[in-house]
Structure 1
Amino acid sequence: MLTEVTLLREAIGSGPGSIGAAVIGTGFIGTVHVQALRRLGINVVGVLGSSLQRGEQAAQALGVSRAYDTLDTLLSDPAVQIVHVTSPNQFHFEQVKQILASDRHVVCEKPLTMTSQESAELVELAAKSNLITAVNYNTRFYPLNQHARQMVTEDELGDIRLISGHYMQDWLLFDTDWNWRLEADKGGPLRAVGDIGTHWIDLTSYITGLKVTSVMAELSTFVKTRQQPVGPVETFSQAGSGETIARKITTDDTALLLLRYENGARGSVVISQVSPGRKNSMQWQIDGSKSGASWDSEIPDHLWIGHRDRANQILQRDAALMNARGAAAAALPGGHVEGFADSFFALFREIYADVSNGKASSHPGYASFADGHYEMLVCDAVLRSAEQGCWVDISPNQR
């Protein structure tokens, strides 16, 4: 594994500036993508905003030389080999189809599409191509999550029995908080689950190697009417005190999910975007027959490891103390905290190593389109369960 780590870093360090990338979307996440790519040494050729004016403003602020007026213009640029899609969810499907048709690699934000029918089609298109296709589930690439993945594969936790946790935020607590994700026609019928719940499902499935087979879900919308500002609002920004329009909300503020896994393990997770004081708290605990482990995104450099017959442990992120998978994801010395933006850097480093090599590695750590499709099937089951008030299976032949 140490040899693989060295090769990974050498591959992406052997001339990434020759790889040209473009980013669709100039909001919060689009900006994070651009900054991570810059840090990696990737040539960010241009950006595509919701309008040419917004694109030009973002390009100037980010120091990017070009703003495209349309996706067609972007894809006619021979300098672009890979496209990052960070636009609102409603545009992912058609944009990704067009990018694949132009023979470009693609990194798409989650959720992959608005429906599982769309995501299934993208899986087929990706399989027929020789392109690198990834979904941006960046939380896999916090180094201690990579470390936990190897702990599971090396049977340090034993048989996985219970997976629990939460993903809580407070940025949509007030009725004056607004974002396009609130609108079902732009973000999809599931909001909290689709936006952050899929991160938790993907991460815990990745660490344990287990897929959810059945769900029992309860969804709640506590803020049923919100004040939509006249004009655009950036993600996580304050709506302000300007003119607003009252809008009825149908998407979920919170979700309570019970989960059954393919090995017989059980799970539960609370998802919320209206929990005061929880800025971005993603917590998981995985309990096995030998040991347990727990992690929290707001203190990402510490992994709790629990034991029955000896003292519990706190592992602080330090490549010298971590297993090979965790060390590969780490970029800074121990004690120098690696956070949200660093997870994008580690994720893109692996993706661009595969782009540089011209093919996907045999077992990539990043989420594939198939993983993104699986998350859409889970979302389908969550919706059906909430509507019917019962357990709903995820059919194996759908996965």
Structure 2
Amino acid sequence: MSDFAKIGAAVIGTGFIGSVHLQMLRRLGVDVRGVLGSSPERGAQAAASLGVAQAYAGLDDLLADERVDVVHVTSPNHAHYPQVKAILGAGKHVVCEKPLAMTSAQSAEMVEIARASGKVAAVCYNIRFYPLNQQAHGMVRAGDLGEIRFVTGHYHQDWLARPTDWNWRLRSEMGGALRSVGDIGTHWVDLTSFVTGLKAEAVMAELATFIPERQRPKGPVATFSSGAGETETVAIDTDDAAMIVIRYEGGARGVMSTSQINTGRKNSLQWDVAGSKASAAWDSETPDHLFIGHRDRANETLMRDFTLMNPTGTAAATLPPGHVEGFGDSFHAFFRAVYRDVAAGGRQEGSTWATFEDGHYEMRFCDAVLKSAKEGRWVRLDEI
């Protein structure tokens, strides 16, 4: 029996990412008690198709289930704030999808509520848990790269590259004022902050909406799927792409871009960190390889191999060398770390999952990006 079999979980949201949460919780051995859909009918349909015993009629029904210890929030962004407040208020642990909230004002309140609750409150920045990102985090902490000077990279996708592509994230009232930055850019911001230990001090940003009108299907559309049937033309006020220059605390600099319209780029997150001693780089589409750059000897490519990795990287690895660990595995490693802390009664020393404080930092970053793009100037995060 799994060490986590006595922990009960429920998942809010039955779309693409909700099903990923469910699958990886099952792999971990967690008892998934039920799911909550956007309506009782959709919840019941999802429960039947996913093989879950119960579909809750509403949030109150879920929170009243004493068998549920941890709630996973994978609903649209606008629902995170009220749902998380209710979950913590009910005395349950929470794992919330990113971004944590719609605004930094909301996320600041969520941080305080989580802190007062004493419960485990994690934000789903699963990309931290690709083993070689944990490896890089350990390398920076050990001083292997020296002083961090320059951080560059991007997060590019193509699933919203056509006017007929549609998803709820396109609607600012559901996804927030930022789309490419809020949806995928926060992954890059969190990951590079985790790897380097640096926080942004100020940003200069430009946002671009290349497709100002789109065809919205009149029926529901799942993430990464193509809509069908009758459509209507709607105006778009969220960003297809963004370019952001970053000043970090301590003097380092950074440049990043985000895009959901880069044809052929399915899920390309890349970071490159230049230090005074060495550099390192990683690409999510080849996740089992870490580039390590040198000046006076040959560069290296470290393939994920726990016989060669540091303890931080090794702790996140599951499969033998040469057996690629991918997207689903990163959720498995992330949930394993979170549920260990749930079993222990709270976050333990050395835990590397993203906290609500981390999620709040990303929301402050997003609000600074919005302000910079609107006002055409550098914006310090302490203005937010």
Give TM-score, length-normalised by structure 1.
0.95
- Find the aligned partners of 1:94 and 1:133 in 2 and give their Cα distance: 15
2:114: which partner in 1? Answer: 126
1:58: which partner in 2? Answer: 46
Residue deviations 1:234-255, cap 9 Å, x none?
0000113x10000000100000
Residue deviations 1:5-28, cap 9 Å, x none?
xxxxxxxx8621100000000000
| Residue aligned with 1:267, SS | strand
- Find the aligned partners of 1:62 and 1:324 in 2 and give their Cα distance: 36
- Find the aligned partners of 2:77 and 2:102 in 1 and give their Cα distance: 6
Q: Letter of the aligned partner of 2:4 in structure 1? A: P
- Find the aligned partners of 1:71 and 1:129 in 2 and give their Cα distance: 19
Q: Letter of the aligned partner of 1:313 in structure 2? A: E
* Pair 1:216 & 2:208 matched: no
* Pair 1:99 & 2:87 matched: yes
1:355: which partner in 2? Answer: 342
| Residue aligned with 2:372, SS | helix
Q: Letter of the aligned partner of 1:381 in structure 2? A: A
* Pair 1:114 & 2:102 matched: yes
Q: Letter of the aligned partner of 2:271 in structure 1? A: W
Residue deviations 1:166-224, cap 9 Å, x none?
10000000000000000000000000000000000000000000000100000000000
- Find the aligned partners of 2:281 and 2:3 in 1 and give their Cα distance: 38
Specify which of 248, 266, 269 is matched with residue 256 of structure 2.
269
| Residue aligned with 1:170, SS | coil
- Find the aligned partners of 1:392 and 1:214 in 2 and give their Cα distance: 5
* Pair 1:141 & 2:129 matched: yes
Moved over 2 A (4+): none
Q: Letter of the aligned partner of 1:391 in structure 2? A: W
Q: Letter of the aligned partner of 1:142 in structure 2? A: Y
- Find the aligned partners of 1:385 and 1:118 in 2 and give their Cα distance: 20
| Residue aligned with 1:193, SS | helix
Residue deviations 1:265-292, cap 9 Å, x none?
0000110000000000000000000000
1:205: which partner in 2? Answer: 193
Q: Letter of the aligned partner of 1:106 in structure 2? A: V
Specify which of 365, 378, 381 is matched with residue 391 of structure 1.
378
Q: Letter of the aligned partner of 1:388 in structure 2? A: E
- Find the aligned partners of 2:76 and 2:305 in 1 and give their Cα distance: 36
Gaps of 5+ in 2: none
Gaps of 5+ in 1: 1-12
Q: CA deviation at 1:129?
A: 1.2
Q: CA deviation at 1:362?
A: 2.5
| Residue aligned with 1:293, SS | strand
- Find the aligned partners of 2:257 and 2:180 in 1 and give their Cα distance: 10
Give the RMSD, CA atoms, in angstroms: 0.9
Residue deviations 1:359-379, cap 9 Å, x none?
111342000001111111000
Specify which of 317, 330, 338 is matched with residue 330 of structure 1.
317
1:375: which partner in 2? Answer: 362
1:36: which partner in 2? Answer: 24
- Find the aligned partners of 2:311 and 2:47 in 1 and give their Cα distance: 38
- Find the aligned partners of 1:177 and 1:366 in 2 and give their Cα distance: 33
- Find the aligned partners of 1:346 and 1:363 in 2 and give their Cα distance: 15
| Residue aligned with 2:53, SS | coil
* Pair 1:244 & 2:231 matched: yes
Residue deviations 1:275-328, cap 9 Å, x none?
000000000000000000000000000000000000000000011111111111
Q: Which of 16-25 and 54-63 deviates more?
A: 54-63
Q: Kindly report which structure 2 residues correspond to 1:256-295, keeping only aligned pairs within 5 A, or say none.
A: 256-295=243-282
| Residue aligned with 1:314, SS | strand
Aligned residues: 384
- Find the aligned partners of 1:92 and 1:239 in 2 and give their Cα distance: 25
- Find the aligned partners of 1:28 and 1:97 in 2 and give their Cα distance: 24
1:171: which partner in 2? Answer: 159
Give TM-score, length-normalised by structure 2.
0.99
1:341: which partner in 2? Answer: 328
CA contact (8 A) 2:2 2:29 kept: no
Residue deviations 1:333-352, cap 9 Å, x none?
01000001100000000000
- Find the aligned partners of 1:150 and 1:362 in 2 and give their Cα distance: 15
Tell me the percent identity: 61
* Pair 1:321 & 2:311 matched: no
Specify which of 17, 22, 32 is matched with residue 10 of structure 2.
22
| Residue aligned with 2:354, SS | coil
